Amino acid sequence: MRVTEKDDQLILHTSWSNLVGPMVFGLIFMLVAAGILWSAGRESTLSCKRLEAAQIQCQLQQIFLGRVVRQITLDNPQQAIVQSSHSSKGGTTYRMALVTAQGTIPLTDFYSSDTNADDLVAQFNQFQRNPVAKSVALDQPASGFVFIMLLVFSAFGLLMILSTHYDTFVFDRYRDAVTFTRIGFTGRRTRTEQLSGLKTEVRQFRGSKGRRYYCVFLHLNNGIDIKLDWNASRESSAQDVADRVQEFARPGVHIKYADA
């Protein structure tokens, strides 16, 4: 919280860190959402044909938003296998992969909790072992879970960005008024209240991890409370701001009138 005083005005400004923090975190969540969409939002198709009895050629394509973003030619895959991934909470997810001379190539970049991988592996291995089979086509659609995660991360990131705002409090002795202005993505809001009778108070709160922080509240003459959008890590810092505002609004403080 930046505090400046000139003539008969005391002005409080939101610290730039209050703006940068939510904006950066909001962008991070949006980037995470984009990463999730890119990695798990692609549909994978595997098309294989038998050129000769002992020769198979496959095309692996990954399609993102209707466009082919990856295409690999695989010659003579030896077999299909199920790869598994284990989470720290004991959950297991699966995906299909082809064992080839080029290495083990997964069908998708993501793992899924359903049993579709077993079905895809069985279909390919049946084709690979049957010399009479001419072709096989396998399709792995984008993970349905990805769209839920995409919605959550995008909504949270967008909410943080849209909630970013810049506050200004102008305490004016000459006009006996305190003017609060908030500028954000949703527009500009201004309200003016009477300065005389204003009281300040410092309140203590606890964060999610038990850390204490302190906020300054303004008690206006009409019974309305306004919280300064600033969380101080030290009580003394919050109290200094509260005392400075209270001293400025104290009745009987000299007013500098402009020359006629």
Per the DSSP assignment, residues forming a β-bridge with 181 are: 168, 190
Per-residue model confidence as pLDDT tens digits over 213-248: 888 998 888 788 888 877 788 888 889 989 988 988
Amino acid present at 4: T
In a domain, 156, yes or no: no
More confident position, 43 or 135: 135
- Res 17: pLDDT: 65
The proportion of the chain whose per-residue pLDDT surpasses 90, expressed as a percent, equals 14
> Which residue, among 37, 39, 52, 57, has the nearest Cα to 106 in the 3D structure?
39
In a domain, 175, yes or no: yes
Q: How many helices (H) and strands (E) does the chain have?
A: 4, 15
Are 172 and 191 members of one domain?
yes
Are 123 and 166 members of one domain?
no
Are 10 and 83 members of one domain?
no
Per the DSSP assignment, residues forming a β-bridge with 68 are: 63
pLDDT at 114 over 80: no
- Res 254: pLDDT: 46
Give the model's confidence band at 256: pLDDT under 50 very low, under 70 low, under 90 confident, else very high: very low
In this structure, what are the phi and psi dihedrals at residue 38, rounded to the nearest 5 degrees? -70, -40
In a domain, 203, yes or no: yes
pLDDT at 125 over 90: yes
CATH of the domain at 244: 2.30.29
Place of tokens 């999730």: 36
Domain of 61, in residue numbers: 42-142
Region 137-162: mean pLDDT is 78
Residue 223: left if φ>0, alpha if ψ -120 to 50, beta else—which one? left
Give the model's confidence band at 142: pLDDT under 50 very low, under 70 low, under 90 confident, else very high: low
pLDDT at 25 over 90: no
- Given a contact cutoff of 8 angstroms between Cβ atoms, the answer to whether 59 and 137 are in contact is no
What CA–CA distance (Å, rounded) separates 198 from 225? 10
pLDDT at 251 over 70: no
Q: How far is CA 230 from CA 13, 74, 108, 215, in A?
A: 10, 59, 46, 6
Of 142, 176, 210, which residue sits at a domain end? Answer: 142
In a domain, 254, yes or no: no
Are 107 and 49 members of one domain?
yes
Are 183 and 213 members of one domain?
yes
Place of tokens 């943080």: 160
Are 49 and 127 members of one domain?
yes
In a domain, 151, yes or no: no
Average pLDDT over the chain, rounded to whole? 83
Domain count, the chain: 2
Task: List, in sequence order, every beta strand (DSSP E) within the chain.
Answer: 2-6, 9-13, 43-52, 55-64, 67-75, 79-86, 92-100, 103-106, 135-140, 165-172, 177-184, 187-194, 199-206, 212-219, 225-227
What CA–CA distance (Å, rounded) separates 73 from 63? 15
In a domain, 256, yes or no: no
The proportion of the chain whose per-residue pLDDT surpasses 70, expressed as a percent, equals 89
pTM: 0.55
Give the model's confidence band at 123: pLDDT under 50 very low, under 70 low, under 90 confident, else very high: very high
pLDDT at 45 over 70: yes
In a domain, 217, yes or no: yes
In this structure, what are the phi and psi dihedrals at residue 87, rounded to the nearest 5 degrees? -85, 165
Region 122-147: mean pLDDT is 84
Are 210 and 237 members of one domain?
yes
- Res 257: pLDDT: 44
Are 176 and 85 members of one domain?
no
Are 183 and 124 members of one domain?
no
Are 67 and 7 members of one domain?
no
Region 23-31: mean pLDDT is 85
- Given a contact cutoff of 8 angstroms between Cβ atoms, the answer to whether 241 and 231 are in contact is no
- Res 209: pLDDT: 77
Region 173-179: mean pLDDT is 89
Region 45-73: mean pLDDT is 87
Are 48 and 138 members of one domain?
yes
What CA–CA distance (Å, rounded) separates 200 from 246? 6
In a domain, 108, yes or no: yes
Are 58 and 121 members of one domain?
yes
- Res 260: pLDDT: 36
When computed from its CA atoms, the radius of gyration of the chain, rounded to whole angstroms, is 32
Of 142, 170, 196, which residue sits at a domain end? Answer: 142
- Res 255: pLDDT: 46
